[in-house]
Amino acid sequence: MAVKDYLRERFFPHMWCPGCGHGTVLNGLIRAVEKLGMSKNEIVMVSGIGCSSRISGYVDFHTLHTLHGRALAFATGIKLSKPELNVIVPMGDGDALAIGGNHFIHAARRNIAMTALVMNNRIYGMTGGQYSPLSGYGTVATTAPFSNIDQGFDVVKLASAAGATFVARTTVYHVHEVSDLIQQAVLHDGFSVVEVLSQCPTYFGRHNRLGGPVEMLQWFKDQTTRIGSKAAAENPELIQRGIFVQEDRPEYCTEYDKVIDKAMAAVKG
Amino acid sequence: MEGALYAGLEFFAGYPITPSTEIAEHLSRRLPERGGKFIQMEDEIASMCAIIGASLTGHKVLTATSGPGFSLKQEALGYAIMAEIPCVIVNVQRGGPSTGIPTHIAQGDVNQARWGTHGDHAIIALTASNHQDVFAMTVEAFNMAETFRTPVILLFDEVVGHMRERLLLPEPGQIPLVDRLKTSVREGVDYHPYLPREDGRLPMADFGGVHRYNVTGLYHDMWGFPSDNPKVVHGLIRHLVDKIENHVEQITRYKSFYLDDARTVLVSYGAAARTALHVVEGQRKRGQKYGLLELQTLWPFPAEVVADTCAGAERVVVVEMNMGQVCREVQRVVNDPGKVFLANRIDGVLVTPTDIRQTLRLIAGQGV
């Protein structure tokens, strides 16, 4: 299938600003699905609220655009009630880790098979540029005009500690990695997290004087490196990209099937 | 619980809270026995969201909670209203506000059931005063949720929730069950998930099936895609309200006791109606023309039934365990609001026959 066959052309043009990184995530996601050769009917995309969450409207899957922060909770209901579906949950950084933080850690803890895609642009874009839990200390936002004193989360560490069995990170500059990591995450039998650093030139870039989209993409290129690379050893300040966690642990829906077996056996005596 | 299973419940998500936890405990055992799914979520919000997700894959779903949890579920309840996703929510009421009085009775969430979620909307809320009726209303709740594609709230109370009582289980098939109206649109043909038929109903397609569509809590067009076109917005809000408010008669359930010649009509519901019936029967033995209208549908408010029943009465006494939430509705719909009085109790103790009789004496000007 061609890439455009995965899009709902009826719903374009999209609502993202010029220079936004989210379109690149959409591109990587569709290429991943294309390579996986999955039927569109077996994919459900569940999103929350925010710029990133509008991604679900543009793809020709079963799509559920839910409430701010709650995408993973809706997704859990879908997955457990119909485990044969592949569930992909794109979320923004505020959506996934501020208002949705509780659902994020508990979905990870359960190890329910779905892919959480954290489109991290370090800002609340749709509401006009307020700081998020991933903005980081010292950044400027419309609600932190004197510089942000909130410390940021590290998505990789948080997801790993909460029990996610596949954890990866990349940036929209590394578009082939986006596609490759999403592909591996979707195939993973457990809760998978892919953090994609994405630029918001409109708010984060402008308030923090990081230049336009080109400069922000250049920053992703310069300030990140592959896990275990020589550059990482030489400069620990660099943000590492790649797969941080990939392990097998009992998957929730598979385990629930065992509960059903036990319950049915108990009834039969 | 048994009513939900009888109605075909397949998925339950919940969070422990007194006095509704027994429902979760029971279903964690009963659902997997029949291949259904139970999940204890991380919070009340997540439980509400999870059942909406499970309903979209074509399953009959339920969650259960009490006051504080019901407050937390309100946003997602509004989502189910907006996206027209069938689901049933049990609220075993306890005293509020806030943590309130968890193990005691109150009926303080009547208006929260009506207006708890933000924005204009219509809602269906049912209640019952004994276990046989709890069973029947639960089946009705699932049927109405599927018929109208909407969340239905079962507003029970702590006394009915915690007491023990005989329950006769109907045979399978004895009570008709409504299954979801599925779309007949074939694969490859455009399916408009939010284009109502002439009768206002929306045939549904399961997530995972051949029709892929968008579901959102935003105002949306017939494709389910966000829209702020004033015509679309107006059309959708009218549809959401009309599909329920235009079917009040079909949704109304109530019980009548000694109403034919009643001069004093008691209006009550839930556990309070048991006390009210006791008083009515006592008065009848003394030759007094008392009757009881027991409401089972609280929302949409059965205005016509209440107005007609109370039309010939000299006085109407609403017996409830709050500050007059249904009483105000009764005053709103009867021919003479001045004849409507409230006999309530708000201290966590079930209203007693003495409480009601004291109010009756006050109304009659006989003092306490």
| End-to-end Cα, chain B, rounded Å | 42
pLDDT digits (tens, 9 = 90+) for B209-231: 999 999 999 999 999 999 999 99
CB contact under 8 A, B54 and A78: yes
Interstrand relation of A62-65 and B214-216 (parallel, antiparallel or unpaired): parallel
Which tens digits make up the pLDDT trace of A129-183? 999 999 999 999 999 999 999 999 999 999 999 999 999 999 999 999 999 999 9
Smallest Cβ distance to B33: which of A60, A63, A264?
A264
Query: Where residue B199 falls among pLDDT bands split at 50, 70, 90?
Result: confident
Among candidates B59, B213, B79, which has minimal Cα distance to A45? B213
Enumerate the residues of chain B whose CB falls inside 8 A of the CB of residue A62. 56, 207-208, 212-213
If you count residue pairs, one on A and one on B, with CB atoms under 8 Å apart, how many are there? 138
Which residues 6+ apart lie within 8 Å of B321 measured at CB? B105, B106, B107, B108, B157, B270, B271, B272, B344, B345, B346, B350, B351
In order of start, what are the domains of chain B with their CATH numbers? 1-251 (3.40.50.970), 255-363 (3.40.50.920)
B46 near A CB under 8 A: yes
Q: Can you spell out the DSSP letters for chain A?
A: --GGGGB-GGGPSP-PPTT-SHHHHHHHHHHHHHHHT--GGGEEEEE-SSTGGGHHHHBSSEEEE--TT-HHHHHHHHHHH-TTSEEEEEEEHHIIIIITHHHHHHHHHHT-SEEEEEEE-SSBTTTTSB--TTT-TT--BTTBTT---PPPP-HHHHHHHHT-SEEEEEETTSHHHHHHHHHHHHHSSSEEEEEEE---IIIIIHHTT--SHHHHHHHHHHHEEETT-HHHHH-TTSEEEEEEEE-----HHHHHHHHHHHHHHHHH-
Interface confidence (ipTM) of the complex: 0.97
Contact B349/B355 with Cβ under 8 angstroms?
no
Q: Is the pLDDT of residue B145 over 90?
A: yes
Nearest to A155 by CA among A201, A204, A192, A125: A192
What's the CA gap between B28 and B35, in Å, rounded?
11
Whether B52 and A77 lie within 8 Å, measured CB to CB? yes
Q: Give the pLDDT confidence score for residue B2 in this predicted structure.
A: 86
Residue A21 is predicted with a pLDDT of: 97
- Three-state secondary-structure class, residue B343: strand
Q: Considering only CB atoms, which chain B residues are within 8 Å of A5?
A: none
Is the predicted pLDDT of residue B368 greater than 80, yes or no? Answer: no
- pLDDT value at B173 more than 80: yes
Could you say which residues of chain A have pLDDT below 50?
A: none
Instruction: Provide the pLDDT for residue B1.
Output: 74
Q: Which residue in the set A46, A57, A103 is minimally distant from B225, CB to CB? A: A57
> What pTM did the predictor assign?
0.97
Residues 98-127, chain A, touching B (beta carbon < 8 A): 102-103, 106
Task: Give the CA dihedral B136, B142, B145, B146, nearest 10 degrees.
Answer: -120
Mean confidence (pLDDT) of chain A = 97
pLDDT value of position B200: 86
Q: Do residues B142 and B7 make contact, with C-beta atoms less than 8 angstroms apart?
A: yes
| Residue bearing the bigger pLDDT, B290 or B1 | B290
Kindly report the average pLDDT of chain B as a whole number.
96
CB distance from A6 to chain B under 8 Å? no
Q: What CATH topology corresponds to A3-268?
A: Rossmann fold (3.40.50)
- When scoring B10, B56, B79, B221 by the number of chain A Cβ atoms within 10 A, the one with the most, hence best to mutate, is B56
DSSP, residue by residue, B39-80 = EE-SSHHHHHHHHHHHHHTT--EEEEE-HHHHHHHHHHHHHH
Domain segments of chain A as ranges: 3-268
Instruction: Residue A85: list chain B partners with CB under 8 A.
Output: 57, 207-208
Picking from A56, A62, A264, the nearest residue to B208 by CB comes out as: A62
The B151-157 sheet, strands edge to edge:
B37-40, B11-14, B61-65, B87-93, B151-157, B124-126, B297-299
**pLDDT for B210:** 96
Which of A45, A62, A72 to probe the B interface (max B CBs under 10 A)? A62
- pLDDT (tens digit per residue) in A196-210: 999 999 999 999 999
Phi-psi region of A93 (alpha: psi -120 to 50; beta: other; left: phi over 0): alpha
**Candidates A61, A80, A260; nearest CB to B39:** A80
